[in-house]
Structure 1
Amino acid sequence: MTDDVIIRRTGDVGRISLNRPKALNALNQSMVDAMIEALTAWRDDDSIKAVVVDGEGERGFCAGGDIKMLAESGKAGDDRAWRFWRDEYRLNTLIFEYPKPYVALIDGITMGGGVGVSVHGSHRVAGDRTMIAMPETGIGFHPDVGGAYFLPRLAGCLGEWMGLTGARLKTADAIAAGVATHYVPSERNGELIYALETERLDDDGERIEELLDGFDGKVGDSDLALERGLIDAAFCEPSIEAILAALDAAGDNWSTRQAELLRAKSPTSLAVTLEAIRTGRDLEFRDVMAQDLRVSMRFLRPGSDFYEGVRAVVVDKDNAPSWGPVPADRAVFFAPLDDDHEMSFI
């Protein structure tokens, strides 16, 4: 067991609280292991009617994973990164396939791995502090944890825009995009948790829906309604080059800003991410997770932009990465791993 995640049963609910507030509840191996163990046990426990997941502290639900460890593992050539990703993706799959309501209270920063332990659940409850993003192209990586599954299933080309630019969705935008399913004001979070823990819940989740609807507030207007036309006009284009050309041709302030964001990202990450998202649109969830593991492991190759991104953003924090050229053959990112390292599921 680990103190980095608090697991307990309260009433009809299995409760999981991510407990690394100083690290914005970023996931590590022990947290992933503990969540898998709890969810597997509760899955077949008829007395548990739902799972509720939140993060300790007011700033973050979960800000991702242990990026520094992953880069160190890649350089050392050991299996720590592979094991973490395999188990994290197993956890994502367990959540996606979970037969009971899975309520993630995403009131705070929710990025990368935090998206993976929330967006695949049945209920994603945003609060006033919610900020959701998949910023991986900014560190020379790709939107993993099932990003290539949920992103292309958003309306239009919102998914391409989010995955490529690392766009940050605040509360109203998260609801409008469908990334969050419900809104509960932050000040009522404690009341909601108490209600979920003390109410008699049913097997089909209807009482949870009633509770969430009872706590619902007015979320306000989303900017996405104004931006959707611009997003689709550019980010539905077939290549990064065509997307940039469309943004440049549009010439408005929003499009100019998106082009600036893209040109600051790793060119390799952009190309691989776009291909992964477009491929993922037609894949089943487990196939996307197998693809994620293959692509993630290929970002650990010597000379990868991932190492430079981690140096610039996490280690030296100069935010001035020097990206390499896009590989001529990107198919290698998607090729199967050896038999001992291919994705396997619980």
Structure 2
Amino acid sequence: MGHAGVVTLTRPKALNALTGEMVCALAAALEAWEKDDAIRLVLVKGEGRAFCAGGDILQVYQAGRAQKHPVGFFADEYRMNVQLARFPKPYIALIDGIVMGGGVGISVHGSHRVMTQNAVIAMPEVGIGFFPDAGGSYILPRLPGGFGAYMALTGNRVGPGDALACGLATHIVRAEKQQELVGALIDSDNVEAILKQFHAQILPETDDATFLAIERHFTQTSLKAVLASLKEQADSGDAFSEKTLATILSRSPTSLAVTWSALTQGARLSMEACMSMEFRIANRMLEGHDFYEGIRAVLVDKGSTPDWRPVKLDDVGEAAVAAYFAPLGEKELVL
């Protein structure tokens, strides 16, 4: 299509959740287009009200319950995330609606993330007993002002204004201008000029005082210090701190502890090293309890309260956390 390789995610009823077949198809397309001199840019978009709500975790849940842990899906996805991060041509993700988890993985690692006013971005994995993967350990600790740690530990949704302010989005386009933008990009050699032409100004959804509060709490040097900082302000009647603390304490304690460690380590690692680390974590979580319990509570028996094990963060020992990061031997991710 013109000078562009165009990918359209076509599972709108499943919010374009990624399957193994979709991951492999995108990887194959990127490999072919990288070598094709006629293709000067790649454009990725989704049908329906979501860009991509992440990996198809119901498939993962069903496979895990059958004792067939789908490590191959995660290996393929993580390799594709690295491939995208290395991709030398403009890669434009046009994000209209929901983008979460693996959807972040197929967008934020690319060169351009164009969101509409309808975009909602989140890394909600701690709410299902998992961790922000698909490169979350690389992306999130590099966001300014502790905003990545805030997203990771709460799982809260973020609007397009905040995404632009923190660098998750590179441009904003009005939803009604999407088709016009796609046509212009396909016909043009100058991606930057086209995106600048269509860019719409938008203010952050979060006010300055809340950004400062996020920075104060989420740049602490340990997870316990984050929670202590929030509790101190909550006890003083601060509504934001009270609500944020309650949200975090509802998440899987194991996921919180592992996520904090992953972000801390990921801040010092390359993208490739982060994905190897994430693959180690994913393997262990696929063998554990909280991931399947979280999916059960959120997606199978919708709205029920998950039975996290252990129940309290204080009961998640350092050795238990470290075990998630231990080498896999011959099962390590091959990039």
Does the TM-score normalized on the shorter chain lie above 0.5?
A: yes
CA-CA distance at 1:224 after TM superposition = 5.1
Question: Secondary structure of the residue that 1:46 maps to in structure 2?
Answer: coil
2: CA distance, partners of 1:72 / 1:245: 38
Does the aligned pair in 2 maintain the 1:17–1:53 contact within 8 Å? yes
2: CA distance, partners of 1:231 / 1:172: 16
Question: Secondary structure of the residue that 1:238 maps to in structure 2?
Answer: coil
Moved more, 93-102 or 242-251: 242-251
Q: Which runs of 5+ in 2 are unaligned?
A: none
1: CA distance, partners of 2:136 / 2:22: 20
CA-CA distance at 1:240 after TM superposition = 2.7
Q: How many residues align?
A: 326
1:331 to 310, 322, 327: 322
Matched, 1:314 2:314: no
Matched, 1:261 2:247: yes
Matched, 1:97 2:86: yes
2:327 alignment partner AA? P
Matched, 1:250 2:250: no
Does the aligned pair in 2 maintain the 1:161–1:235 contact within 8 Å? yes
2: CA distance, partners of 1:23 / 1:311: 17
Does the aligned pair in 2 maintain the 1:62–1:114 contact within 8 Å? yes
Look up the match of 1:30: 21
What is the Cα-based RMSD across aligned positions, in Å? Answer: 1.2
Matched, 1:146 2:131: no
Look up the match of 1:4: none
Matched, 1:287 2:273: yes
Question: Secondary structure of the residue that 2:113 maps to in structure 1?
Answer: strand
1:123 alignment partner AA? H
2:324 alignment partner AA? F
Look up the match of 1:178: 167
Runs of 4+ with deviation above 6 angstroms: none
Deviation digits for residues 223-244 of structure 1 (CA, Å, limit 9, x no counterpart): 1533221112111223332212
Q: Which runs of 5+ in 1 are unaligned?
A: 1-9, 202-206
2:34 to 38, 43, 55: 43
Look up the match of 1:188: 177
Look up the match of 1:20: 11
Does the aligned pair in 1 maintain the 2:171–2:200 contact within 8 Å? no
Question: Identical aligned pairs, as a percentage?
Answer: 46
Specify which structure has the higher proportion of helix.
Answer: 2
2:3 alignment partner AA? D
CA-CA distance at 1:17 after TM superposition = 0.4
2: CA distance, partners of 1:309 / 1:129: 27
2:287 to 301, 308, 311: 301
2:247 alignment partner AA? L
TM-score by length of 1: 0.92
Look up the match of 1:84: 73
Correspondence 1:335-346 to 2 at 5 A: 335-339=326-330, 341-345=331-335
Matched, 1:75 2:60: no
CA-CA distance at 1:139 after TM superposition = 0.2
Look up the match of 1:6: none
Question: Secondary structure of the residue that 1:48 maps to in structure 2?
Answer: coil
2:140 alignment partner AA? L
Deviation digits for residues 46-84 of structure 1 (CA, Å, limit 9, x no counterpart): 110000000011x100001111222233333325x2110
Question: Secondary structure of the residue that 1:156 maps to in structure 2?
Answer: helix
Does the aligned pair in 2 maintain the 1:176–1:222 contact within 8 Å? no
Question: Secondary structure of the residue that 1:299 maps to in structure 2?
Answer: helix
Look up the match of 2:154: 165
Matched, 1:215 2:215: no
2: CA distance, partners of 1:294 / 1:68: 21
2: CA distance, partners of 1:224 / 1:63: 26
